[in-house]
Structure 1
Amino acid sequence: MWKAACWALSNNDLYDVKERAMYGALCGNLKAMLEVGGSWEDYVWSYYKTMVDVATEKRIQQSANIRRPWQHIHSMLLPDEYFLQKSELDDVRTVFEKIGHSPDKSIAEEAKNPNHFIQRCIILNDMDGLLDEILLWIDEESIHPQLLRFAAHLLLILQSFGMTLNYEKCAQILEAYVKQLISDGRAGHLVAAYTACLPSDRQLDCYATFLETIEDGDLRKEYLELASEAGLDVTAITKNVVERIRAQGVPDTAPLQVSQGDDLTLEPPLTPGDHKKIDAIEWLVFDPAQRSEALKQSNAVIRGFLAARKFSAARQVFQKIPRDSVEIIHREWHAVADKDVPLPAGTDNAIREHICVQAYLSAQSTFSDWFKHFHNKPHEYEPANQASTFASVSLSDLVAEEHRQKKQEEELGRWREVLEGLCFAALDKIYNVLLFPEGGWLVDVREDTEDNEENRCRHHQMSLLRRLYVPSLCDLLLNVLLNTGGRNDQCSKLADVIADEDNKLYELFTKQEGKRILERIQDAMVDIL
């Protein structure tokens, strides 16, 4: 009777619309409540309030009561219009469809709001629909950063509740949020934590993409520590970062072309991409366990720079590797293997290549020092006064002239002394390369059984670098001998080294190169006679 009275009052036009809505809420009169509904939330509440009220009333009527059949009396008090609401609201999905097609345009427009759509999907437990719509927003780039942030956290919370969500769709949404954090530039310290929420197969590329943009050394170390704390595979990530940077621009894995007429003393300028490749090696030196990988990656970058004849860049990469790296590699290996077990062939070959690079860069550097000093020769003494008679020259002028002569001769003597020292150093360093032990310069001692594209490319590059730089070093050595007085007789030693059957350096010369260097040696020996 009380509910019937509320129903009657909610339909009485003599009362204020808000008062009727209040009575409608007490008895489940949807129409009365919608008359004052001013928002999407009001409409949803009104529909669900009515659904609950009618369902409760229907349940009461269907319940047996042996003491008193009051259901018949109760059903007579409520009009049919009340129970007709049940047929209209049987499916909860129709509630949101009706709200979306409301005659009130502001309510219909509110139904399109992304936040309301998310609420709708949670109410209906429509997780697939929710994920599909969020992905659509991401693809159309219409999603607001804060909405994407909310969606990502919502998914994480739902997953923590144990709800079954589409694995791939969740991964795409979380990855989109991580990319947003990366592009934001102010939330770098959060990237590792959210990347760890991604599937393991996506963590590597995602975090490597982030680290690729970091240039500050302190930040690099901090972000690697955060990645380690978040449980990411730091070893694989840093390797991926370096390989991605190496692949930019002209990859250092590109085939080398040996050109015969180029001037090896000319060095092309470094590009921003070159500097990025140089700095990339720093990612691999933070963790001692990665020192072996750092050596392999630095060798690969150096080969690319040597191919482009960018010696200063190659030297900078070499200097990125700490001097105690070989010792650390052995220590790390013997920490997991017996002392009698040798290093893996790949690691052993990388160490040897690193030493080969050191030998060449040292030879190239000492020759550059000799070359610069040779071309900075002081002027030889020339008398300033050409008077024919002693009487025409004053005593003070003679003293000044003698002082100038002595000074110039001393400068020339010091220049020759330094040139001699640089000559010895250059010869020693160049012969260190030409007579590199155990097979020769840039030749592996151990055979790596792992056959892959990377190893094949490495062997190809080392072979071509040998063909390019061994003949070049022989030319440089001849230049040193012929331009540092009295050393023509030492040219025969170079001929013996080239012809030696143990090293077989003659195989690295083309016919034209071999003919030219032998002619130079022959001319030097003839001058001795």
Structure 2
Amino acid sequence: MDEHDTHLIVANGNSTSMREPAFALQLMHPLLIDCVGEHYHITQEFDEYARLVSEGGSVLDVADVSESQLYKFGQVSENWAAQLEAADQSEATAVEALRLEARTWDLLFRLLDIRIEAEDDISDAAVPSVYSSDQAIVLAAIKKDKNLAELMAVKEWLEVFAPDPAPVENRKGYRIFTQKSLRSKPAGSVAMDPDAPIRTKIQLHQDDANYEHALHRALFSYLRRGDLQSMAQFCRDVDEPWKAASLQGAAYFRDSLVDGEKYDDEGTSGNINRDLWKLTCLEIAKEPSFDSYERAIYGVLGGNVSSVTPVCQTWEDLVWNHYSYYVETVLDQHLSTVPHLTKANNEYSKEDVPESVPLPNELFDRLNNHESNEIRAAAQNPFRIIQAMLILNLVDPLLMSVHTQLAQQSHGNIPQLPTFLRFMVHLILTLRSVLYPIQAKDSADFIIKTYIDLLIAARKFSIVAIYVGQLPSTLQIECYAQFLEGLAVDKETRYEYILQGKECGIDMQTTCRRAVELTFETGIFQHPVPCKAADVFVSNMDDEVSDAVYKQVRALEWVLFDPLQKGEALGQCNRLVRRFLVHGQVHIVREILSTLPEGFIEKKWLKSAMKEATLAEARDIAGLEGLTPMTRRLAAGAVEFLCYTSLVKSFEGLVKWNEFLGMKPLRGVNEGDALDSFQYRDWLKVMQEGTKSTVEQLRGCLSDIHQISLGQGGFLGVEGKERAAEISLIREIYATEIVLRLQHVLFETRDYVDGNLKDCIKLFVEFVDDQKDSFHREFVQSGKIVFFMQKHNQAVALEA
């Protein structure tokens, strides 16, 4: 046994896996192509694949192969290919991809069935002895040698999907045209045995020669499909039974008595001189005088690659040719390990120098650079590359290479061949389900994530959760949160996606919180907090709310669906409100508060706030320390929320007050003094009541602002510091603004409401003077003390 044959034994094992084929690194350009727009070929079969994934099912351990999930995957692709082919002849590329995908699932099933060890997969095949027949040795080898089993599985897979046998006339009679042409020849000068044309150099009649060529071509097509039985029967049907006998020499010798097996038929069968028969096959294969297809037939049976190659027309033909050789070679190696009882006949057992046949990994490299444009293009097809790498057990290099190509795609683009990407994702899910060892875990997750992006781009929203649920838990949250963040659908539909996420095992509480954060990060939180209050201008209450802003407002829905998330919703709501307030966007805050459900603030939060205030007033340090951070956060959050509600109502009240102030009746043409008109007296009464209500509302708002803790409010770290800085700025902007507007209301109604001018003057002592509980610091920091003093001095002058 020479070194070349020794390598063949481990051709699919660890030895060849150490050297990655060149094409595995390239994976060729047709795999992924940039595509923009909506032409994604994302059709119904994507939903069918998703349904099969969600239903689960066994991959290998099934009594009926048709119940395997891999078989069902293949059927979906095959059925869709048939529909697409019938509907649109221009979709040849898509049809080919679907059919190749279906075949690849079949290949994967065959390989995994061998590679994955079942718990009870312990072969009890007897060890061949010196007395064992060839068939017993072969059967034992197949059970024991997984490398051999894989070689045979690949060969059988290529035979299953081979084309139908070539059509040929079922002609009766033996070389009838040649017989007629030789009747005029002298007796004894001609012969009609099968080898006569080779021996006598007298050619067959052209009609018979053409038929013989067609016959051999048909026989080769039977052999290509692995159907030796039909092949032999066809020989008998056309009155050439010796061909059938010759082909049946491939059967391994079996002796039930020696092997200890019980059969219903005769005790022995097969070819006891199979090694001699193979030598004859090889001689025919090498003889150039024979028909090319006849040489190819005997080349396959005898284990010769070069004689078969000329009739191979496809990538599959060439791979099958080599794998037929690999199988014969490895089987011969196993047969040679058991010594024969009889000595070899040197006259017939001599061997020529073995032909140089590439190993499997070299084979696919050569096909990738084949001289034929058709073969080379076929070898560079994405699914054939996958098939080759699966055969060579190069799953990790495959995943890493696809990962690299996907990562190199320009941002926002997706593969033009989504069928390929779909296959890769379900390949990963399949391998994980059978605990197939995968080292390139990051690459696998990246491929799944890219597929999810593809589904989102194609608006296949209903199946996104299924694939997000297949990611590791550490990636599920970010991936699904990004999906939710990008949705622009109604509230009911949002809730449906939350339910889908739960059904797929995604932590939806954490995911919804993250979806809110992502929305904020792409919105108002992109803008830095203003450095000082003087840079902020408070918006008008009737300003418009853009769609981009409304998206941020609606983001709170994600945490409002779950009652257990109410505390989180409070925190996120206050966080969003603070950020809009520091930018002066009061009208947006009103929009935020209007979307919240009634009873948003729970009574227990307010009770906790009152308790904390009482403990603080009593300086009960032990009691304060007994409050949990969560309790303090909810209490502070509730107080803060009520303050913002009061602030919005105050601005709304001011709008109404200003509107009513402008409705003061004017003197009519035929009327007396406006002061004596009924309209004025009615207006004055309502004005006084409205002013009183507005003043109370503004004073209440200032009191609420006083209640907001300037500390971290139970928040820790960066979040606590951020909150404290925003609260401080909000006080500078809005406490001063409310005082100024209160001053304006009192000053403008001095003639209509008794005492308002005095109250206007008192505002200085209440809110501006340098006292402990005033807003003196805020007025100084904001620079608004100048505006307050201008109006204050006017009031003082009028009072004097």
Normalised to the residue count of structure 1, the TM-score between the two structures is 0.84
2:723 and 2:712 map into 1 onto residues whose CA distance is: 14
Question: Does the residue aligned with 1:30 lie in a helix, a strand or coil?
Answer: coil
Equivalent residue in structure 2 for 1:43, among 315, 318, 343: 318
Aligned CA RMSD, in angstroms, stands at 3.1
Aligned to 2:773: 503
- Give the residue type in structure 2 aligned to 1:464: L
**Which has a greater percent of helix?**
1
CA contact (8 A) 2:698 2:742 kept: yes
CA contact (8 A) 2:386 2:398 kept: yes
The Cα shift of 1:456 comes to 0.8
2:564 and 2:408 map into 1 onto residues whose CA distance is: 44
1:420 and 1:278 map into 2 onto residues whose CA distance is: 37
The Cα shift of 1:430 comes to 0.6
Equivalent residue in structure 2 for 1:490, among 759, 765, 778: 759
2:779 and 2:380 map into 1 onto residues whose CA distance is: 76
Does residue 440 in structure 1 map to residue 710 in structure 2? no
Does residue 346 in structure 1 map to residue 614 in structure 2? no
Please list, as runs of the form range in 1=range in 2, the aligned pairs for 1:178-197 lying within 5 A after superposition.
Answer: 178-185=452-459, 187-197=460-470
Gap change, CA 1:160 and 1:143, over 3 Å in 2: farther
Question: Does the residue aligned with 2:556 lie in a helix, a strand or coil?
Answer: helix
CA contact (8 A) 1:442 1:466 kept: no
Gap change, CA 1:428 and 1:77, over 3 Å in 2: farther
2:790 and 2:384 map into 1 onto residues whose CA distance is: 88
Equivalent residue in structure 2 for 1:278, among 535, 547, 553: 553
1:249 and 1:155 map into 2 onto residues whose CA distance is: 36
Does residue 355 in structure 1 map to residue 623 in structure 2? no
- Give the residue type in structure 1 aligned to 2:743: L
Question: Does the residue aligned with 1:326 lie in a helix, a strand or coil?
Answer: coil
Equivalent residue in structure 2 for 1:127, among 391, 395, 407: 395
The Cα shift of 1:7 comes to 3.0
Equivalent residue in structure 2 for 1:479, among 738, 741, 744: 744
Please list, as runs of the form range in 1=range in 2, the aligned pairs for 1:94-493 lying within 5 A after superposition.
Answer: 94-141=362-409, 144-166=417-439, 167-185=441-459, 187-216=460-489, 217-251=491-525, 254-260=528-534, 264=538, 266=540, 269-327=544-602, 343-383=630-670, 409-436=677-704, 440-443=706-709, 447-448=713-714, 450-484=715-749, 485-486=752-753, 487-493=756-762
Gap change, CA 1:252 and 1:456, over 3 Å in 2: farther
Gap change, CA 1:77 and 1:182, over 3 Å in 2: farther
Q: State which drifts further: 8-17 or 374-383.
A: 8-17
Cα deviations across residues 458-498 of structure 1 (Å, max 9, x unaligned)?
11111111111112111111222222313323325534422
The Cα shift of 1:355 comes to 0.9
Unaligned residue ranges in structure 2 (runs of 5+): 1-275, 410-414, 609-625
Question: Does the residue aligned with 1:475 lie in a helix, a strand or coil?
Answer: helix
CA contact (8 A) 2:428 2:444 kept: yes
1:129 and 1:445 map into 2 onto residues whose CA distance is: 55
Cα deviations across residues 164-222 of structure 1 (Å, max 9, x unaligned)?
1122221222222122222222x112222211222233222222221111021232211
- Give the residue type in structure 1 aligned to 2:575: A
1:190 and 1:300 map into 2 onto residues whose CA distance is: 33
Aligned to 2:152: none
Aligned to 2:334: 59
Aligned to 2:357: 88
Question: Does the residue aligned with 2:340 lie in a helix, a strand or coil?
Answer: coil
1:446 and 1:105 map into 2 onto residues whose CA distance is: 71
- Give the residue type in structure 2 aligned to 1:509: F
Unaligned residue ranges in structure 1 (runs of 5+): 334-339, 384-400
2:444 and 2:504 map into 1 onto residues whose CA distance is: 19
Question: Does the residue aligned with 1:31 lie in a helix, a strand or coil?
Answer: coil
CA contact (8 A) 2:360 2:392 kept: yes
CA contact (8 A) 1:253 1:457 kept: no
Cα deviations across residues 131-164 of structure 1 (Å, max 9, x unaligned)?
2322233234366211111011111111212111
The ranges of structure 1 where at least 4 consecutive aligned residues each deviate by more than 6 angstroms after the TM superposition are none
2:514 and 2:426 map into 1 onto residues whose CA distance is: 28
1:98 and 1:253 map into 2 onto residues whose CA distance is: 58
1:473 and 1:526 map into 2 onto residues whose CA distance is: 23
The Cα shift of 1:65 comes to 2.7
- Give the residue type in structure 2 aligned to 1:352: V
2:284 and 2:539 map into 1 onto residues whose CA distance is: 102
- Give the residue type in structure 1 aligned to 2:720: N
1:411 and 1:20 map into 2 onto residues whose CA distance is: 117
Number of residue pairs the alignment of both structures matches: 492
Aligned to 1:524: 795
The Cα shift of 1:252 comes to 6.5
1:493 and 1:98 map into 2 onto residues whose CA distance is: 96
Q: State which drifts further: 318-327 or 519-528.
A: 519-528
- Give the residue type in structure 2 aligned to 1:204: I
CA contact (8 A) 2:536 2:582 kept: no
- Give the residue type in structure 1 aligned to 2:788: I
1:463 and 1:520 map into 2 onto residues whose CA distance is: 25
CA contact (8 A) 1:208 1:241 kept: yes
Question: Does the residue aligned with 1:474 lie in a helix, a strand or coil?
Answer: helix
1:306 and 1:221 map into 2 onto residues whose CA distance is: 29
Aligned to 1:387: none
CA contact (8 A) 1:152 1:174 kept: yes
